[in-house]
Every structure is written in structure tokens, then in C-alpha cells.
């Protein structure tokens, strides 16, 4: 800037440039392997170890899936609960303990393994801790007859999710306030997400114009206008025959 002082013009020197920002320090190196330590992964391992030490009777196994996936918060903790009755104390501990605070219920789902009747269904609860920005999965295995304690007394959001698991897989949740079907009709038989359930189902629904109501009937799949070539997975249709025109004399 130029300033006029007693007929003379002076130029002020430019302001000094700010000092360079120091670069962040690299993570501490592992002296044994010579590689940087993944602090996030180490904290997850320490948290899993503390859970097993505090709940040794309930948690029978733990794992960190995709532990080195830095793009998705370094993996997800999975806890195995052998006894379904232990789900309630484990979920309560994860919700209330100050080092966990998994107070957001995401969902509950199931997976069918018909080849293992004693552990046919894997019931999985997904929780989120907003304070620690962490997710955790709690899973247990049951057969077709073993009930699972409902998580509704701990998480109100588990209500409709457990109804969906009951409707689709047939896993029974005791102490549920309103365990009934949620996706299928009232008179539906079976559980559609089981792997032994036929893709076409057992009954079909249609509107009967004579009775003026919706009726359920056994499924009837007509095989007309279809030809099957068992040597190929694709349906093969024969080419239409061309009839020659009559020649006029």
C-alpha cells in the first residue's frame, strides 16, 4: 500500500507469510513387523476382549469382519451367542454400558441353513452406537422349535422386524407383544423365505367376479404352449412349418 506523508510516497512491506502447517505424525510403527499399527483395529480388538471378559457365560465367540477395510470404518464386530436365552443380557449390556452405548436398533434378520437341522436358523441383531460411530452384530442359532426371547422390551423398534422374521422364517419370539404375520395374508400357510418353500407357493389369490370377493385356490401352473429340451437349460421352440401354396393349373 502506498501512503502520502509530507509529499513523499512510501510503500509498506508485504505481510509475512504464515508458517507452514506441520504434517500429521505417522502412526506408531510396530517394531516387530516394521509396519504402522492400525489404531482403529487395535481398539476394536481391545473392545472385543473386554466384552468376552465381562460376559464369559453369554458370548462364546467374536470376530471382526473386513477388519482392514479402511473405507468402511475398519470392519464390523460380530458376537456369537450360543444360548438364545443369553440374547437379552447381551443386548441390555450393549445398550446400557458406557463403553458400548449401542442404543440404536437397526434391524433383526434370519438366514436359513436347511442342511443343519440343529442350527438351521441364524438370527442376527444389528445395532448402532451413535456416540462411538460403531456397529455391532449379535447372532445366535436355533432350530425350528427353539424360541428366541423378544428384544421389544429393550428396543421398541424390534417389534415389526421380529414379526417379519416370524412370518418369513417361522422363528418364534416369546414375550413379543403382538407376534403375528405382517407381510403375508391371514390364511397363509408356511414361511416363504425358507429354502424348502416352493417358489410358486401353495395357493394363489384372485378376485372372483361371481362371489365378489378375493378367493384363495391351490396353485395351478399350466404347461400348455411350452416345450422342454432337457439337454439345455433354455426352452427351445420348434420352428413353424411353412405350408407351400397350391399351384393353380
pLDDT in tens, 165-213: 999 999 999 999 999 999 988 778 899 999 999 888 888 888 999 989 9
Output the pLDDT for position 13.
58
- Percentage above 70 pLDDT, the chain: 70
At 87 the three-state DSSP class reads: helix
pLDDT in tens, 62-92: 998 876 766 666 678 999 999 999 999 999 9
pLDDT score of 15 more than 70: no
Output the pLDDT for position 214.
86
pLDDT in tens, 163-177: 999 999 999 999 999
Output the pLDDT for position 70.
65
| 225 pLDDT tier (thresholds 50, 70, 90) | low
Output the pLDDT for position 14.
59
Distance CA 172, CA 121 (A): 11
154-157 long-range contacts (CB < 8 A, ≥24 apart) are 154/88, 154/91, 154/92, 154/95, 155/91, 155/95, 155/105, 156/105, 157/105
pLDDT score of 141 more than 70: yes
Distance CA 158, CA 176 (A): 10
Q: Could you tell me which of 125, 128, 126 has the C-alpha nearest to residue 150?
A: 125
Output the pLDDT for position 206.
86
Beta-sheet strands, E only, within 151-237:
173-174, 203-208, 213-218
Q: Is the pTM of this model over 0.85?
A: no
Lowest-pLDDT choice from 1-15, 67-81, 209-223: 1-15
Mean pLDDT, rounded, for 98-111: 96
Strand order in the sheet with 121-129: 59-65, 76-81, 134-142, 121-129, 104-112
Amino acid at each position: 500500500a502506498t501512503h502520502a506523508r509530507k509529499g513523499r510516497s512510501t510503500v509498506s512491506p508485504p505481510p509475512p507469510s504464515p508458517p507452514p502447517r506441520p504434517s500429521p505424525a505417522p502412526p506408531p510403527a510396530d517394531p516387530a513387523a516394521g509396519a504402522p499399527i492400525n489404531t482403529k483395529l487395535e481398539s476394536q480388538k481391545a473392545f472385543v476382549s473386554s466384552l468376552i471378559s465381562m460376559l464369559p457365560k453369554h458370548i462364546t465367540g467374536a470376530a471382526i469382519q473386513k477388519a482392514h477395510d479402511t473405507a468402511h470404518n475398519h470392519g464390523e464386530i460380530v458376537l456369537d451367542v450360543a444360548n438364545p436365552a443369553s440374547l437379552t443380557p447381551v443386548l441390555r449390556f450393549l445398550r446400557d454400558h458406557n463403553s458400548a452405548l449401542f442404543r440404536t436398533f437397526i434391524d433383526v434378520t434370519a438366514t436359513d441353513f436347511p442342511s443343519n437341522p440343529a442350527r438351521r436358523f441364524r438370527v442376527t441383531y444389528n445395532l448402532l452406537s451413535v456416540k462411538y460411530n460403531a456397529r455391532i452384530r449379535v447372532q445366535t442359532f436355533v432350530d425350528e422349535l427353539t424360541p428366541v426371547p423378544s428384544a421389544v422390551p429393550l428396543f421398541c423398534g424390534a417389534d415389526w422386524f421380529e414379526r417379519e422374521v416370524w412370518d418369513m422364517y417361522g422363528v418364534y419370539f416369546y414375550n413379543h407383544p403382538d407376534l403375528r404375520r405382517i407381510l403375508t395374508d391371514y390364511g397363509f400357510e408356511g414361511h416363504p423365505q425358507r429354502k424348502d418353500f416352493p417358489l410358486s407357493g401353495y395357493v394363489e389369490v384372485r378376485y372372483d367376479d361371481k362371489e365378489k370377493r378375493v378367493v384363495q385356490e391351490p396353485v395351478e401352473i399350466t404347461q400348455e404352449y411350452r416345450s422342454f429340451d432337457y439337454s439345455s437349460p433354455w426352452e427351445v421352440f420348434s420352428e413353424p412349418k411353412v405350408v407351400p401354396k397350391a399351384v393353380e393349373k
